[in-house]
Amino acid sequence: MHPQQLHLWKLFWGIVLAGAFLHLFFSFVKRAVKAQGVKYNWFAVVLSFSAMGLALYLIFFVQM
């Protein structure tokens, strides 16, 4: 595989995984807001989703 093809392949999968990540994040937030009687540690939730998003960004878009 040529380096240009590998770059495009990683970019494609980065976009696919970022879309899946955003879908999971927004569906979690929607369900968490509707849940009654359940309390979330929102700092930990935001921190964990941010860590996953940063890892996706660094691996697929910055190409580290």
Q: What is the pLDDT of residues 32-60, one digit of tens each?
A: 888 888 788 888 888 888 898 888 888 87
Q: Does some domain include residue 57?
A: yes
Structure confidence at residue 64 (pLDDT):
57
| Residue 11 is assigned to a structural domain of this protein | no
- pLDDT of 63 > 80? The answer is no
Q: How far apart are CA 37 and CA 19, in angstroms?
A: 30
Record the tokens describing residue 53, joined without a space: 């998003």
Arithmetic mean of pLDDT, 19-37: 86
Checking if the pLDDT of 15 tops 80, the result is yes
Count of domains for the chain: 1
- Residue type (1 letter), 46: V
Within a domain: residue 42?
A: yes
Closest C-alpha to 28, from 13, 12, 48: 48
Tokens representing 61 are 């878009």
Structural domain span for residue 37:
21-64
Token pair, residue 12, equals 């494609």
Q: Under 8 Å CB-to-CB from 7, ≥6 apart: which residues? A: 63
pTM of the entire structure?
0.66
In a domain, 16, yes or no: no
User: Is the pLDDT score of 10 beyond 60?
Assistant: yes
Specify if 4 maps to a domain: no
